[in-house]
Each structure stands twice: as C-alpha cells, then as structure tokens.
C-alpha cells in the first residue's frame, strides 16, 4: 500500500513538472513571438532637418496604412544612443533622415519619395542615388564676356560627359536661359558680428539686390536684417545668463559663450541660410 502511494505521488510530481515545463516553454515562445513582432524598422529624424520635414508626412501616411515604422527623434538621448548602436553594428554612417532595418541593416540614407520608402519597408534594397564626379562648373555671370561664356560651355560639356550617369542633366542652353546674377551675393555676417557689421552687410546686400533686380525671389533685405538683429539680442541675453566660474579665470565662460553663440546661430538662422543657399543654388552661384 505504501509503495502504491509513493508511486502515485511520483507520478503526480512528474505531471506537475511537465505542466511547469510546458508553461515555461509557452512563456518563452510567447516572448519570442512578441519580440519578433516588435518593429525594427527605424526612422531617425531631427527637428531642424529640412529633408526630415518632407519625409515626416510620408512616414506618417505609411504608419497609418499599417506599416510598422518607428519614428525616433534624435532630440531624445535614448534615440541617439540607439542610432549609435545601429551604426556601430552595421558600420553605417548617415545623418537624417535615416531609414534602417535594424534586423538586416537594409537602409535608406536621405530623403526618398513614398514609393521607394514603401519598397524599403517590404525589405527591398534601395540603391544610393548616383553622385556627381566633381562639382558642376559655375555658370557665367549675367553680362559676362563671350570668352567667359565659351570657356564655361567647354567646361560644362566635359562635366556633362563625365556625369552622364546622372539623371536630368540640363543642357548648356537651358542653363544659360535661366536668370543669372551679375555677381556673387555678400555672405551673411559672422555669428558674433556686432551691430555695425550687420548694418554694413545690409548695405552691401541691398546694393547687390538692386543690381540684380532681374532675378526672381530675391529675399528682402529688411527681413534679413530683422533676423540678424534678433540674433544679436538673443546672443547678448545668453552671454548675460552664462554662469561665471572663478576657478577657470574666465576661460570656461568664454568657451561656453562661443558654444552658445554657435547654437543660437544654427537654430535661429538655419532657415534664413537655407533660403539664401536655395537662391544661390538656383542661380548657379
């Protein structure tokens, strides 16, 4: 009788252990299933990125359509760490926007239209866009001499031949038909420029704008001056708010002011510089 009871108990223990093993296995499989269902399609972006602003609504549309893309703002420290980990794992280098499948390393570096991003979501490899072999020769200024125009034509035709792998290369006549400036516009004043330097730059820019009134979309000097004045005020406020460290004999304060000035310049004038760059690029300067 005792042996029978012991045998029964042993069988019951075995059954309990088997049930626990089954539950543990199911738990592990469930966990693996959840991990496999977690998206590793990462989209890294930053708020100050112009191309990201174009990509964001496309990504939002794809997410609404049910595609599991994770939007990761690099203003968040954890997202920056994750980006560095992925870069290290796959030996990749890219700024923003950056699309990468963290499970395979398949990436898109830079902006693409919705159809290409959708192909990336589905696992298709998207080749990098073709790159030019050297910079395009700068078009001649408006009213340039015929000798300068002929030399540019010669240089541009050689560049076109070397870069025939690029799409939509314009012809010589198409470029010369575009409005061209008479001279290079003055570069914006330095971040630490004083009020007098900003005023001097404004006079130079106004003179250039008047001489190039035939150009479309020249940014008004008044608006640009207003931005620069705002920047100066912000820089002055930042300098006043900087903490003083007597142990560093003022050196740390100077360095931090420079860093603060740089940050203010990038943040507050990025849109202005982008507009200037667009004007310059459009004019072939």
The answer on 48 and 24 residing in a single domain is: no
Spatial separation of the C-alpha atoms in residues 139 and 284, rounded to whole Å: 6
Specify the CATH number for the domain of residue 117.
Answer: 3.40.30.10
> Which residues form the domain of 270?
185-283
Determine the Cα–Cα distance for residues 249 and 221; give it in Å rounded to an integer.
41
C-alpha torsion sign, points 36, 39, 44, 47: negative
pLDDT band at 173 (very low <50, low <70, confident <90, very high): very high
Give the residue from 121, 141, 159 where a domain finishes.
121
Question: Span 53-76, mean pLDDT?
Answer: 93
Mark which of 178, 194, 212 sits at the end of a domain: 178
3-state secondary structure labels for all residues of 83-138: HHHHHHHHCCCCCCCEEEECCCCCEEECCCCHHHHHHHHCCCCCCCCCCCCCCCCC
Q: How far is CA 232 from CA 198, 203, 219, 226, 252, in A?
A: 9, 18, 20, 10, 21
216-231 tens-digit pLDDT: 888 888 887 887 777 7
Q: How confident is the model at residue 266 (pLDDT cuts 50, 70, 90)?
A: very low
Residue 9 has pLDDT above 60, yes or no: no
pLDDT tens-digit map of 92-107:
999 999 999 999 999 9
Q: Do 50 and 21 fall into the same domain? A: no
| Domain-located, residue 274 | yes
As a whole number of angstroms, the distance between CA 84 and CA 77 comes to 11
Using 50, 70 and 90 to split pLDDT, how confident is the model at 5?
Answer: low
- Where does residue 98 rank: exposed (0-12), middle (13-18), buried (19+ CB within 10 A)? buried
Mean pLDDT within 157-168: 90
Is 0.85 topped by the overall pTM?
no
Evaluate whether 176 touches 138 at the Cβ level (below 8 Å).
Answer: no
Residues 193 and 144 occupy one common structural domain? no
Q: Is residue 127 part of a domain?
A: no
Query: What pLDDT shows up at residue 39?
Result: 66
Q: Between β-strands 41-45 and 69-73, what pairing exists: parallel, antiparallel or unpaired?
A: parallel
Domains in the chain, number: 4
**8-state DSSP, 180:** -
At 269-285, the pLDDT tens digits run 455 555 555 555 555 44
CA neighbours closer than 13 Å in the CB half-sphere of residue 258: 5
């Amino acid at each position: 009788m005792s042996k029978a009871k012991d045998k029964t108990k042993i069988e019951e223990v075995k059954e309990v252990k088997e049930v626990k093993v089954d539950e543990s296995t199911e738990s592990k499989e469930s966990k693996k299933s959840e991990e496999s269902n977690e998206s590793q399609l990462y989209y890294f972006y930053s708020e100050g990125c112009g191309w990201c602003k174009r990509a964001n609504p496309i990504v939002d549309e794809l997410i609404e359509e049910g595609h599991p893309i994770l939007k990761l703002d690099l203003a968040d420290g954890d997202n920056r760490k994750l980006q560095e980990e992925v870069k290290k794992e796959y030996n990749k280098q890219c700024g923003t926007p950056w699309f990468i499948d963290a499970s395979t390393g398949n990436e898109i570096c830079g902006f693409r239209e919705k159809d290409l991003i959708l192909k990336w979501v589905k696992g298709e490899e998207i080749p990098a866009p073709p790159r030019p072999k050297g910079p395009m020769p700068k078009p001649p200024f408006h009213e340039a001499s015929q000798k300068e125009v002929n030399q540019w034509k010669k240089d541009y035709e050689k560049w076109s031949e070397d870069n025939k792998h690029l799409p939509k290369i314009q012809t010589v006549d198409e470029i010369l038909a575009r409005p061209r400036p008479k001279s290079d516009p003055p570069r914006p004043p330095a971040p630490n420029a004083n009020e007098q330097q900003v005023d001097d730059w404004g006079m130079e820019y106004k003179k250039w704008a008047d001489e190039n009134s035939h150009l479309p979309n020249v940014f008004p000097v008044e608006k640009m001056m207003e931005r620069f004045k705002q920047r100066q005020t912000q820089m002055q406020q930042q300098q006043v708010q900087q903490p003083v460290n007597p142990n560093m004999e003022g050196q740390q304060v100077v360095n931090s002011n420079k860093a603060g000035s740089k940050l203010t310049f990038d943040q507050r004038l990025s849109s202005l510089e982008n507009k200037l760059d667009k004007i310059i690029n459009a004019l072939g300067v």
